[in-house]
Amino acid sequence: MSYGDASQVVSELHGKLQREILTDEADRWSYSFDASFGTFLPDAVIQPVSRDEVVKIVQTAVKYRVPIYPRGTGSSLSGGPLPVYGGIVVDTSWMRDKLEVYPDDLVAVVSPGIHTAEIHRAAEAYGLFYPPDPSSSEVSTIGGNVAENSGGPRGLKYGVTRDYVLGLEIVTPEGGVLRTGGRTVKNVTGYDLTRLIVGSEGTLGIVTEVILRLVPRPQDRRTALIVFDDLVSSGRAISKVLTSGILPCAIELMDQACLIAVESYRPSNLPTDAQAALLIEVDGHPEAVRDEIKKVEAICLELGAKEVRVARNETERQQLWFARKQISPAIARIKPTKISEDATVPRSQIPEMFRRLNQIREKYDLQLVVFGHAGDGNLHPNIMCDIRDDEEMERVEEAVSEIFRAAIELGGTLSGEHGIGTMKAPFLPMEIGEIGLDMTRRIKAAFDPLNIMNPGKIIPNNERNRVVLR
């Protein structure tokens, strides 16, 4: 890889941007990581506040052939913003001037540094709704969400970020400004570049503005916690509910290890002797949801649920979700290092995927817990380990590879919502094949002939062909 010298970019831009360029060693280390693994020291960190500044930065980087890495809050779980070849981190989380809601058009126009939860609240103020709800909503930026095509529990009924992006403004890797899509839901003019850029993990350009579709806010919702003695019946219950004319907005699953972890961390009255519990939520018209939750209850009981708890009011509903939200922190106490995977399989394969995960747990003798958005097959197998224990980490790496293989064999995908980034890149060919890989490379080269925009992500390099977590 022959890249230019970042200090030339820094000195050329010096004094021309609103915020000071960060080059102190401490500052550089502070942008060397994300919420996944690996630390890569950048040469500088630039924090643009406007599109024009981004254009300046990219054009200068092009001039000196210096790699640049877009970054939001750095909550990525796949290494997306890591500056793997050195160069410059471009932190867009302070581009926050625009958060406009146009209720008549049912759209919002947003700067990339706005947090997902801020969009939720802004829409709510107009009785509207922005459905994508990654658990990291309070901190993740919409720029990061667009780049990762983030999802969340509501993906089952409402889809993911991609389904709400109507248009984008990006600064291309060559320094031009590209506007895609627009403010209308229907738009068939030309290639759908918007959808190409969503989920491109910052490799095709820097997002500087997003036009989002909003929907009317559902009037009511009902939630139930359903307990099963075995995993297979919980899987059957999911299928039965989904084929009975009901589309819940969330079906979340927790396995026994999760239930035990939550109970010993923040007791939430969960059954620890059960093998699985489902959290099912329906939303819509008040009368419809009342009817639907009853139906859900009946179906689950018929399929052998040992207990169904329907929240009677908002407080009880919050309590049920509270328990679900405690899973992450609760399991984090098992061991210091947490590897979150999000391999996703077709719904019908959930029980089989569970079986394989059990095998993997036993084969590698690891603390592996499973929870996740079972309604759309997006499971979150989490391995709790200790990064200081080399021998264990080797087993973890093997186990992760095997999880990926299992997902693909079952007709699923490496990642449902966290992205490929650095960690899963070696497995890309396994899922998309040689022609797919070649096409991906050519698309990347068409956008970014110099390969300076977030290099080292998605597309595997030949140096590495396995998972490395250290």
Partner 1 sequence: MKSPELPYADTLKCVQCGYCLPACPTYQTTGNETQSPRGRINLVRLVAEGKISDESLLEGPIDLCLGCRACEEACPVGVPYGEILEQTRYLLREHSTKRGLGQRVQTAIYRHLLPDKGRLNLLGDFIWFYQQTIGRWRLMNRLLPLREFVEIMPKIEGPIVRRRKESKESIHARQGNKKVMFFRGCIMDVMFSSINRQTTELLRHLGWSPIVPEEQTCCGALHAHAGDLEFSKELAKKNIMAFEASGARVIVHNAGGCGAMLYEYKHLFEGDSEWAERARKFSDSVQDISQIVASSEQGKFAKAVDAVVTYQCSCHLNHVEKVKSEPVQVIKNLPGVTYKQLPNGTSCCGSAGIYNLVHRKEADAILQAKMSDVKKVNAQVLVTSNPGCYLQMKLGIHQAGLSKQTRVVHLVELLAEASGTAD
Ligand X SMILES: Cc1cc2nc3c(=O)[nH]c(=O)nc-3n(C[C@H](O)[C@H](O)[C@H](O)COP(=O)(O)OP(=O)(O)OC[C@H]3O[C@@H](n4cnc5c(N)ncnc54)[C@H](O)[C@@H]3O)c2cc1C
* 30 interacts with, out of ligand X, partner 1, none, CB within 5 to 8 A per kind: partner 1
Rounded CA separation 109/119 (Å): 10
**Residue 268 makes contact with partner 1 by CB under 8 A:** no
User: If phi over 0 gives left and psi between -120 and 50 gives alpha, with beta otherwise, what is residue 134?
Assistant: beta
Instruction: CB nearer to ligand X: give 75 or 180.
Output: 75
Rounded CA separation 53/95 (Å): 10
**Residue 256 makes contact with partner 1 by CB under 8 A:** no
Instruction: CB nearer to partner 1: give 18 or 269.
Output: 18
CB of 139 to ligand X, least distance (A): 7
Rounded CA separation 342/377 (Å): 10
Which of 21, 31, 221, 419 touches partner 1 by CB under 8 A? 31
Rounded CA separation 402/312 (Å): 42
Near partner 1 in 11-30, by CB under 8 A: 19, 22, 24-27, 29-30
Beta bridge partners of 308: 226
Which of 10, 13, 34, 257 touches partner 1 by CB under 8 A? 34
* 80 interacts with, out of partner 1, ligand X, none, CB within 5 to 8 A per kind: ligand X
DSSP assignments along 177-198, one per residue: EEEEE-S-S---SSS-HHHHHT
Rounded CA separation 258/255 (Å): 5
Instruction: CB nearer to partner 1: give 115 or 154.
Output: 115
CB of 145 to ligand X, least distance (A): 4
Contact 360, 403 (CB under 8 A): yes
3-state secondary structure 342-367: CCECCHHHHHHHHHHHHHHHHHHCCE
Phi, psi of 343 (to 5 degrees): -55, 140
Residues that bind ligand X (CB under 6 A): 34-35, 69-77, 80-81, 92, 112, 134-136, 140-141, 143-145, 147-148, 150-152, 201-202, 206-207, 328, 417-418, 454
Instruction: CB nearer to ligand X: give 293 or 370.
Output: 370
CB of 7 to partner 1, least distance (A): 20
**Residues 6+ positions from 142 with CB-CB distance below 8 Å:** 110, 111, 112, 113, 114, 115, 116, 119, 210, 212
* 426 interacts with, out of ligand X, partner 1, none, CB within 5 to 8 A per kind: none
CB of 318 to partner 1, least distance (A): 16
* 418 interacts with, out of partner 1, ligand X, none, CB within 5 to 8 A per kind: ligand X
* 16 interacts with, out of partner 1, ligand X, none, CB within 5 to 8 A per kind: none
Sign of the C-alpha dihedral, residues 288, 295, 290, 246? negative
CB of 76 to ligand X, least distance (A): 3
Burial (CB count <10 Å: 0-12, 13-18, 19+), residue 148: buried
Rounded CA separation 268/266 (Å): 6
Near partner 1 in 274-303, by CB under 8 A: none
DSSP assignments along 357-415, one per residue: HHHHHHHHT-EEEEEEEGGGTEEEEEEEE-TT-HHHHHHHHHHHHHHHHHHHHTT-BS-
Going residue by residue from 310 to 349, which x/- string records binding to partner 1, judged by CB under 8 A? ------------------xx--xx--xxx-----------
Instruction: CB nearer to ligand X: give 250 or 320.
Output: 250
* 26 interacts with, out of partner 1, ligand X, none, CB within 5 to 8 A per kind: partner 1
User: Where does this chain bind partner 1 (CB under 8 A)?
Assistant: 19, 22, 24-27, 29-35, 39, 47, 73-75, 93-94, 115, 136, 138-139, 328-329, 332-333, 336-338, 387-388
